[in-house]
């Protein structure tokens, strides 16, 4: 009996250590608010709710998104902006190397107009995860539709939201999503435990 209890403690200790390690990796990705030219280029994904509910908060969302891009974008970053409408589609993609690139990206956000009643967050997250080309990525998902967010949580892509942080606003929310962290957490845990 004691043997299985101690094995259980090791297992729950391992889970706790993995969780703390995942949290440390995720927190290292989150503080990208200062566009520091010393950091290596990263992939940035901005996934915007393509459902009609976006229109209820469009001005607030676009203002926030444009200000946030000014804070996080650094030269060399790769930016992809997604319309999570009926099917996920890219509305902007490019490498940021000048203020003109930043303005073009912001224009794609301010000109964004939804055209459907649904939001394909699952498809956008899946595509964003498959296109990651650098070792670090920063993914923001803007949701104005609780129903659309619920549908992704009940889909096979729910695991993509496993390492997420939510920031709530009046009628919308932003999720900072740690895409493709599972494998990194497993490798780090294995290296930490020496197995």
Structure tokens at 58: 């469009």
Q: What is the pLDDT of residue 67?
A: 97
Structure tokens at 72: 């996080």
What's the pLDDT band for 165 if we cut at 50, 70, 90? Answer: confident
Condensed to tens digits (0 to 9), the pLDDT of residues 170-183 reads 999 998 887 766 66
CA proximity to 94, closest of 79, 81, 75: 79
Q: Which range among 30-44, 83-97, 124-138, 157-171 shows the weakest confidence by mean pLDDT?
A: 30-44
CB atoms under 10 Å from CB of 55, counted, come to 13
What's the pLDDT band for 62 if we cut at 50, 70, 90? Answer: very high
Q: What is the pLDDT of residue 111?
A: 95
Domain 36-180 adopts which CATH fold? Rossmann fold (3.40.50)
Q: What is the pLDDT of residue 147?
A: 78
Q: Helix H segments across the chain?
A: 2-29, 58-72, 99-110, 121-130, 146-153, 181-193
Q: Using a cut of 0.85, tell me whether the model's pTM lies above it.
A: no
188 pLDDT more than 80: no
Q: What is the pLDDT of residue 74?
A: 93
Residue 35, SS3 per DSSP: coil
Span 143-170, average pLDDT? 78
Condensed to tens digits (0 to 9), the pLDDT of residues 99-155 reads 999 999 999 999 998 878 888 888 888 888 888 766 678 899 999 988 777 777 777
Longest Cα–Cα distance of the chain, Å, equals 67
Given a contact cutoff of 8 angstroms between Cβ atoms, the answer to whether 96 and 77 are in contact is yes
Distance of CA 44 to the CA centre of its chain: 8
Condensed to tens digits (0 to 9), the pLDDT of residues 6-37 reads 444 445 566 666 665 665 555 554 444 444 44
């Amino acid at each position: 009996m004691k043997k299985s209890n101690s094995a259980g403690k090791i297992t729950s200790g391992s889970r706790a250590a993995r969780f703390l390690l995942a949290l440390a990796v995720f927190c290292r990705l989150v503080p990208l608010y200062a566009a520091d030219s010393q950091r290596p280029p990263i992939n940035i994904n901005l996934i915007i709710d393509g459902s009609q509910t976006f229109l209820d908060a469009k001005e607030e969302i676009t203002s926030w998104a444009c200000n946030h891009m000014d804070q996080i974008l650094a030269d060399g970053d790769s930016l992809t902006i997604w319309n999570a409408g009926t099917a996920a589609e890219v509305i902007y993609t490019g490498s940021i190397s000048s203020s003109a690139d930043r303005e073009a990206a912001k224009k794609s956000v301010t000109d964004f107009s939804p055209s459907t009643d649904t939001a394909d967050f699952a498809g956008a997250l899946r595509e964003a995860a498959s296109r990651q080309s650098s070792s670090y990525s920063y993914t923001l998902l803007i949701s104005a539709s609780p129903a659309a967010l619920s549908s992704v949580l009940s889909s096979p892509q729910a695991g993509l939201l496993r390492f997420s942080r939510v920031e709530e606003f009046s009628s919308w929310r932003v999720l900072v999503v740690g895409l493709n962290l599972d494998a990194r957490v497993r490798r780090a845990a294995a290296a930490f435990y020496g197995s």
